[in-house]
Each structure stands twice: as structure tokens, then as C-alpha cells.
Chain A
């Protein structure tokens, strides 16, 4: 790599050729504030907050897009730069609601932090903010408040470049510019998958998850209700970030303790139903493989992904596994099997789930998700919302004891916990499918061929004499390319795992902020750590799963399983 010598704030540094000033500065530990910049999105140089003085330039330059050159002299804190930077922030603040104290992003708003860091004490412009935007709360997952939008365009870029959906774009001009869906429709009428990546990158509260915590509080405080909670695999390695604990910390036990103290009657684990999903989906795959079913079969546990299929590729829906997602299997089993076993009227059960995902809210609200005879899952909250509830309740999270999940829906294997990362569902399925096919125990359970962070990975797995060709895809833009290959007949695979979000659920739209590649990596490492630490690492070895099939459900893909644990898909017309 060719290195370039430059001077920033009097400090001689080297940075790779082609780097921007911002990259060079950050590499040298020099902080330059940014807003429209996001490390995983193509820089646009739009907000003009990261202006610096660079030798050879006529005006100040936006460091996020300006390339370094040999001998360049950069200054990031001269009075000229400071004044320009503050003017930009002042202009943004002048056009921003001043309701920080009651804002959903208060405390983790990037604009608020920058205003504080730069010591903004007065706004010289009293023309006020652009108004007349209604808040879009048309859908179960996301809320958009355009008044809080600072037009950084990150949502546009993440939706277009990472997710390939292009739900948003700029519309109108000048001061009237807005981020808009097509025809300024509400999200429910746009081609939105509710993946929530826009909310993950939004620096302010212009796009946030729909807050459902009040529903949970209401259920908990209703003496007539039995409130069950399930926690998704990826929540336990991220929740700590909401509560002042470093990213990648495994907080499973403290989380269980916190949920009990919040007042949930039973604390269960989505890992249980992830194992159940493997039983059903694994057998479905074998059935398709052995009986000439539609291949490649594609996983269906990521609801953002399912929405994308229904919106954009309805003709390929037969490829989707009919197995419900772990969240929905849990709900269906909780209000039938568990209710029966515990002697509770299912009508009195409120089934809450804690998910890393905003699309899960919409999934739980799907009309057909009531095979138990009731709404299978009643309320979905994200990791961020659970963090808020714990803070509201004043729990000293870091010092809570480690507690265990309740039984009988609380046991999960190592195979289940890795559902939370890209490749995990595939790996979990392979662990079970291999043993089912061969009928014997296989010593090695780690399939490193399907691990990794490349957006599309493929592997050929030998299961006895059979070669199973698999692929693993994450992000919807890459998923779309895979679907195009399927349409073109060039996707020679038997089984494909797709996750809508970058990195899978660890990078889900409901996870703590900020999210970046490094944070996703350590969350993911933590999940693998959970897997390695598990006594049981294959779904079919889960004793509670065995008991469920033996005493109540019968066989995988059996009649009862079919009616409770499988679903159907149809084209979404918006």
C-alpha cells in the first residue's frame, strides 16, 4: 500500500493513498465531528460539519470526501474552521424542534451530542423550523418524524446501497427539501420491509422504532394477565450496550434477572423455539431434497427478508421455507402446549418478545399469525426498548445476579444461539440435518465454511455421500442479487440462508446504537462464545424440544406441527 505523508494540526502522519482527510485524521486519533458521514455508507459531503482547512484548497473542504495528498497540511481547529463548523450546527439547530427533553433519542442523539460538544449556546436565527409534516406511524415497526430530520441522507443511502430497496429519496428543493418515500406515501404504502436499518443510521429521532413499552407495562401491571417473555439470541450480546456495559458482553443471566424484576411472570428463551425451527425447517429441507421439492430452499426467519420477497419477488415464494420464525413458533407453542401444561387459560396469556429487530413487530401483527387460536405474539419490543424499560425501572443492571430461564420453554442449545449471526441458521441446520441423515453422532459441530462476514458466501458440505450445496447471504441488496441468480437459473444451491440486516440479527434494526462493523464483530464473537460454552450444541438434543415432540407435538412436519408451526406467504401489493 502506498503511503502518503501529511500534517494534521502540526502532527506528521502517514495514511494510505486514496484515504480521505477524515480517515487519515481518525487513524491518527484526531477527532473531526461528522453528521452525514457514516463509516459504512458512501460519503456524500452534504452536512458540511467536517470542514477543515487543507493546503491547496480555495475554501474549507469537507474532510469526509476530500482525498489526502503528499505534503498536504490540514488544520481542524483554527478559528475559521471552528466558526464554520458552529455556523453549520447553528443552522441545523435553528431548523430543529427544541424538544430534546422529551425526545425518544434524547441521550443518544448525534445532533444533541455535537451541539453539546461544540458548546452551542445561542442560535442567532429566529425564523423557526419547517413544520407541517405529519408523523408517519402508519405501520407497526417504524415512526418517522420529518421535523427532526436534518437531511443527512443516511437513511436514503442505507436503504438504497445496503438494502437495495430505495424506499427513500430527497424530494422538493431548498429549505423545503424532505426525505420522502415515493409519492410521499406512508411507509405502510411504500415498499418498506421494516428492517429498520434507516432507524439504525438516523442520527436524530427522525426515524425510530415504534415504542411499545407502554403496552408491556400495562400487561405487567394487569393482575389478570400471565405475562410471558421470550428473548431473541442476539439480544443477550447487545443489551449491555444500552446499560453502560461494553459491546460484546454476554448479559444473559442479568437480562433474565432484570426481566423478572420488571414483573414478567415467566422468562423464556427464543433459543428454545430456534431449536424447534431447526427441527421443522431441517426436516422440511430433507423432505424437499428427497422428494423433488422446490430448491433451493431459503430460510424464512428474518421478517424483513420475507417482506422483501413478498413485495418484490412473489414468483419465488415457493422457495421460502414454510417454517415460522422462532418468535412465532414460540408464541404458537406458548398459548397451546405451555398453557395446557401450566393450566392457564391462553386468553389470559400475554406473550411478549424482546427482539433485535423492528420487522418482528410487523411479523407478530400479521393477520395469519394466530394459529394458537389467539394472537401468537402480543407485543414485540426491541433491545433498545428493553434497555429503556430497565432504566425506567431503575434497576442496577450491572450488579444484578445471573439468573436462569424458566422451564419448559427456556432451554436452548448452542445451535440456537448462533441464529443471531449471519450463517448461524445454516450452521445450526447442518448440525441437525447431518446427524438425521447419517443416523449417528458427528464429533465436529463447527461449520467454518459458512461463517464469515462476506455478504454472499457459499460452501459444499458433505453429508455422508451427499454433497449439500449451500449459500449464506446477508443484507437485502445481496439477497436481491441472489434472487436474480435464482431467476436466471444460475444459483446452483440446495439451501440458502438469508438475513435482511448486515451481519444478521446482531446488526438488526432494533439493536443498540451506534452499530458499525467492529461492534457487529464483537457481538458475533460473543454469540460464538455462547455456543462454545453450551453443553448441548445441536437442536435435536434439546431436552425440552424432545419432550415437546414426545409428549405433545408428535413428529416434525406432523399434522399438529404443520398447523401450528408452519405458515404461508403471499404477494404484498402496496
Chain B
């Protein structure tokens, strides 16, 4: 057997791929051959490492050297210097944003140090298109253990004991959900994996499917065994072509090895999986809408009860879990619930993957133990706020979640604390906002999303979110009137009480949480006709400071002749004439014009 002395792991996640990682991979092959290293160094395309901000990523083992933002032109140098001569290419190493220190090794980087990667453990470490690599790291051991040594009830009990809760948003105890479906008597049952990840900025499910698809298949098969289902669907957005491709390969390979299909491990348990591509409606992430969509109908939620565990897909008992939930199952079965319970808090066990985005240095995916504080996620893992700006708020839980202010930064991140604070875990989108963010504008952004993604079925969601958006819009345009805040609150309360599905019931959350923590910003917009963050264009006031040298460029660029002043003396803007286009500010060579 030939000896491989080094592995070059090239990230093949969607982020790195769009940044050109395929060409990098090809270039490695070419350069290794040029240096005669092709038999001792192996190039592996992996799934996502989560540190997408710094992609394309290349990691070289055994050292674990972590190269960032690698370009095709860099490959020759890496091969020659690192792999041929044994010298690390320092200029490509990661630099900590706060300390500016260079970190050579993958495990030493701040972004990874505080993470606890259970779900993502294989992402970036194995080739997702080779089932053998998954098996080599212990894959399908859990399925074998479950179907050959455990009864379905024992599996359910183990999952219940683990305290695993749904990672898709609601946080319902997974074991209980399985048990409901198991107790429904029917000749046919279904398992569905909800991979219709739609929250703006969330991409953890995609990464798991792209980087470690078998883990999800294994979790689904174990669920099928536990509840007595022999068929399952993975409902995945059509906008995730790479995930779909890797899922297809994974299903095919698992079937070829008898790990899916008939009579798995000779246990008499059979499990067949299908992929259903969703057409991109956000509401199809709601379980009843999702099932309608699989059935070929318009994706519209229906009232519950009956719950899917009683009457789900095609009227049969069905269990639906999200990708990340299924990805937790195999480890619980292999290592046991007690092992799993060591991670997390009393009522929120295990880890949660967050998608860090916004004004944060290390955007990407981070998996953390439940109970970690928001501050640790944002500062220790996320590397703090970009450009040294001041933190203002973090929006957590996607469009249904809420915005938390600075004094909540030490809040432990778990299901119940977040709900109590007016946000929610959601699928784990985490958008960090700095002092330049207008919170009314943020609420408007999320409400605009939910109102345009409303399925239109129930009145409060269809009509109510539209009216809320209208009110928010007029506030940001300086047309807000006394009573608008109360009207928003009243409407929000009634929408939460009356909407048919989770989308509508949670749609007002961004408004309510910003009203709770940033009410003064709303008041400034309405009463003082002022946007404190200077974001809302129609409320912006452009003023010329003493830095003005009187060059006249601003006056010449003003389309409405609102600026006057003598050459070489300070100019003035007539606020009554100004249309707030910002042309003056862009034209000023002395940064003498400010907006606020």
C-alpha cells in the first residue's frame, strides 16, 4: 500500500466553490505532479469548514495548517514551499482580527477554539462524496446498533433521555415527537427531513448536507426504525444544487451497500429515501405546508390538529425534523444519551450551529454548546465588530426572531432564555448589527420579508403584516404619527394571537423586540423626524461642518440648488430645499458634510 504523507483538504462548500476552489483543487493536482509529489500527497475535496469569510480554504495535514483566501496563483508556492520544502507560507495564514496575530494551526484559531463541533465534526474533514470516508469515521455504526441491538422503543427512550430538541425553530422535544408518530397505528408512515432552509443568512443545513450528507440519512433511518416508517422524503430547496447532488450520491451509495433499502443489516427493517426539491417558498418550511408541497399542492399551511404524527403526508402518520436535528441522532445512539447530556444546559442539551453574519469579523458557521453567552459567540468566535465599530444589536432566529441589545449580551443562548428575551433560537441565523444600524429599518426589513413570503391564506398574516409594513414605512419616511407605535403593538399582538401558522404568529417578533429594546429610536423617527443612526434617507439631514473650505463642489453637485455660500467660506444647506440625495456628501473632498 502506498504511503500518503500529507493530505491537502480543499474546501468544496458552496462559499469556497463560488470563490474558485475547484480551480484550486485542479491546480494542486497539476503542481503536485510537476513536483513529483502526486503519489505521496493526496488532494481531498471536503464539505464546508464554516469559515466562509476567509475562503477558499485549504488545510494541510498532518500539521493542520490553515490557509485562507487562497488563490490559484498561490498554489504553486504552497506546493513548492510547504509540501516540497516543508516551509509554511506565512502570508496565507489566518490573522486574528483583534490581535492581528498570525495563527498557523486550524485548532488554534479563535473562531474554532470555543466551538464544540458535534454536528459539523465531519464537515471539512471527509470527502462527502465517498461513503467509505463516512464509514471510516464511524458512520452507520449508530444505525447498525439501533436496528440490531435496540428495540424501537429503546431508540425513542434514548433520544428522549438525550434531551434533543428540534433545531428547526420550535425546539419541540424530538424524542416525544418520535413517540407520538410511533404510537399512531397505520400501515404506512413517513419520515420527512425539512431541508427547506429559508431564513435570510442561515446556511447551516446546507453545509451539513453538502459536507456530511450520510449523517442526515443515518439519522432519518434511525427515526424510521423508531417510529415504524419505511419511507422518507428529504425536502430540500432547489436553490441548493450541490446539496441535492451530494444527497443523491449519498443515497445511491448507501443503497448500494445495503445501508438504505430493503432489510437493512438483515434486521428486517427497510427504509427508502426520496429527494423532493422545493421551489423556494419560505412558507414551505412550515411542516404542513411542506407536506402539501410534497403532495404536489400549493404550499399552504393547514390548521393543526390533526398533527402530522397522526395525519401527515398523504394522511399518514409522519414525523418531520430538520436537518440539524437528524444530524445529532447518530452520536446520541452511538455514545448514549448520558454522553450527549454533558453538552448544553439543563433544558437545552447539545450544541447549536449558528450562521454568523452582519457586521462581524468572522462570518461563517459556528457550532457552540448550548448555554454559551452571546458575547462569547460574537467576540470570541466571531472576532468582534468590523471596523472597530460599536455593537448595537444582534438579530437571532431569522425573520421570526428578535433583536437583542447590548445589555443582553451575557444572555445564555438556549431555547428558553431566548424566548424569554423576546427572540427565539429559530434555525440559528445570527445577524450582528453595529451602531450604524437603524432598528426601525431592521424591523422593516424583516417584516418586508415575512409579508412577501406570507402564503396569503389567513387574514392576519396576509393583511396584517402588510399594514404593519405600511406603518413602519411611513415612520421611516418621516410620516409617522402619534399613535403609530401603539397601533403597531396592537396589530402585532392580534396577529400573534390569530395567525394560522408559525410564520404569521412570529412575523411581528422583529417589530415587538425592537420596540421593546429600541423604542426611543421609533420615537425619534416619529416625534423628532430624525433617524438616530442616519440610515433612513428621507429623515437624513445633511449639514456642512467647519471642515468646509468653501470649494463649492457641493453646491455644483446639488441637483436642486439647495447649497449656497461664498467661495473659500463655509457653505450652508437649505434644509427646506434639500431632497436628501447625498450627492453633496459624495462630492466633498474634505469630508465636511455629515449626515444625521
Contacts and interface: CB of A to CB of B under 8 A. Distances in A.
B467 A48 contact: no
Contact of B498 (A59, A172, A173): A59
Nearest to B499: A48
B460 A174 contact: no
B464 A66 contact: no
Contact of A45 (B303, B462, B497): B303
B462 A59 contact: no
B452 A87 contact: no
Interface string B465-481: 11100100000000000
Given A87-B491, A91-B467, A125-B467, A151 B497 contact: no
Contact of B463 (A44, A59, A91, A172): A91
B395 interface: no
A424 to B, nearest CB: 37
B462 A47 contact: no
B505 A46 contact: no
Contacts, number: 104
A177 B456 contact: yes
A173 B487 contact: no
B463 A94 contact: yes
A62 B456 contact: no
A51 B465 contact: no
B116 interface: no
B570 interface: no
Interface residues on chain A, size class: 35 or more
Nearest to B298: A170
Contacts of B302: 44-45
Contacts of A44: 302-303, 457
B298 to A, nearest CB: 6
Q: Which of B466, B491, B496 has the most CB of A within 10 A?
A: B466
Q: Which of B281, B453, B458 has the most CB of A within 10 A?
A: B458
Contact of A125 (B454, B456, B470, B499): B470
B463 A95 contact: yes
A84 interface: yes
Contacts of B281: 173
Nearest to A153: B457
A46 B457 contact: yes
A214 to B, nearest CB: 35
A223 to B, nearest CB: 53
Nearest to A126: B470
Contact of B453 (A45, A91, A151, A174): A174
Given A46-B458, A67-B305, A170-B300, A175 B497 contact: no
B459 A91 contact: yes
A127 interface: yes
B296 to A, nearest CB: 12
A124 interface: yes
Contacts of A124: 487
Interface string A60-83: 101001110000000000001001
Interface in A161-177: 169-170, 172-177
A92 interface: yes
A59 B505 contact: yes
Contacts of B298: 169-170
Interface string A390-432: 0000000000000000000000000000000000000000000
Contact of A127 (B303, B456, B460, B466): B466
A186 B458 CA distance: 25
A173 B455 contact: yes
Given A65-B303, A87-B460, A175 B451 contact: yes
A175 B462 contact: yes
A461 interface: no
Interface string A22-59: 00000000000000000000001111110100000001
A88 B494 CA distance: 9
Contacts of A91: 459-460, 463-464, 467
Contacts of B466: 127, 174-175
B408 interface: no
Contact of B462 (A125, A127, A177): A177
Given A127-B466, A177-B455, 7 more contacts: A88-B459, A95-B463, A125-B470, A127-B470, A176-B456, A177-B456, A177-B457
User: Considering the complex of A and B, which 7 residue pairs feature the smallest CB-CB distances, nearest first?
Assistant: A177-B456, A91-B463, A45-B303, A174-B454, A87-B494, A175-B466, A65-B303
Interface of A: 44-49, 51, 59-60, 62, 65-67, 80, 83-84, 87-88, 91-92, 94-95, 124-125, 127, 150-151, 153, 169-170, 172-177
